[in-house]
Amino acid sequence: MTKKQLEKKKAAAYVVDTQPGNHSYAFVEGVGECRANFMWMVEGIDKGDIDVVLVMKAELLFIDTSPLWLENFVVTVKRHHILIVDTTRDKEYDLRKPEDEREFRELRTK
């Protein structure tokens, strides 16, 4: 993605505190539990408020995220053509591409 294309995008930075302790969680019946900021991010994508997700490491999206929330995230990202940018690896994931989705899902085990 070029700098000019990125300038037009509405970005959301997903930040995760990896230290043990109290964190704000959201629970939705039928979907499960995740960090509240993850839920807000998915809702923002679905409303059109977010065009690209920036995260220090893409595997941080999996922390404390139930499998159904993750599937909801993947479906929402695909539907709205959202890129996930891993800033540490300087890698973009376009989950509409099977190889990117496979690489992204493999991060869950890291």
9/20 Cα distance (integer angstroms): 33
Count how many Cα atoms sit within 13 Å of the Cα of residue 27 in the half-sphere of its side chain: 2
Mean pLDDT of 42-69: 91
Does residue 39 carry a pLDDT above 70? yes
2 pLDDT band, cuts 50/70/90, is low
- Output the pLDDT for position 30: 87
- Output the pLDDT for position 3: 63
pLDDT tens-digit readout, 69-101: 999 999 999 999 999 999 999 999 999 999 999
